[in-house]
Amino acid sequence: MKKSIICTAAFAFAFTCAVAGVSMANNHGPAEMTMGTKKPVHFPHKAHQDRGKCADCHHTKGADGKQGPYVAGQEKKCGECHNKDMANAKLNSVKNAGHALCKDCHKKHKASTSCKTCHSKK
């Protein structure tokens, strides 16, 4: 009797861990995002995920203070690094970093670079 209870409990625990792991692995952020306040950016996150990898946009900060490779689960808000304290004036705000990354990618993939593409009123 004890063996069956222990086996059932162990199976239930393993099943719960497996389901939780799959659930976390499939959590890739919201499908739609709105960023900023003055000129909000309406960002179709899911549509971009379907076209590329997380590391195409996301990265970490290395021990040397420079951009490091993307590591799942270590995502931070962009403004934690891209702020007035950053030495690189081209990337020292979320707006500047976003414009650099997004415009370059849109040009590379021959997608619209019109301001209204991202700053549309929804």
The one-letter amino acid at 33: M
Displacement of CA 57 from its chain's centroid (Å): 7
- Does residue 80 carry a pLDDT above 60? yes
The residue extents of the domains of the chain are 1-29, 31-118
Region for residue 76 given its phi and psi (left: phi exceeds 0; alpha: psi -120 to 50; beta: otherwise): beta
pLDDT > 90 fraction of the chain, expressed in percent and rounded: 49
The β-bridge relationship of strands 67-68 and 60-61 is: antiparallel
- Does residue 24 carry a pLDDT above 60? no
Q: Does domain 31-118 have CATH number 3.40.640.10?
A: no
Of the pLDDT bands very low, low, confident and very high (cuts 50, 70, 90), residue 18 is: very low
- Does residue 106 carry a pLDDT above 90? yes
pTM given for the model: 0.67
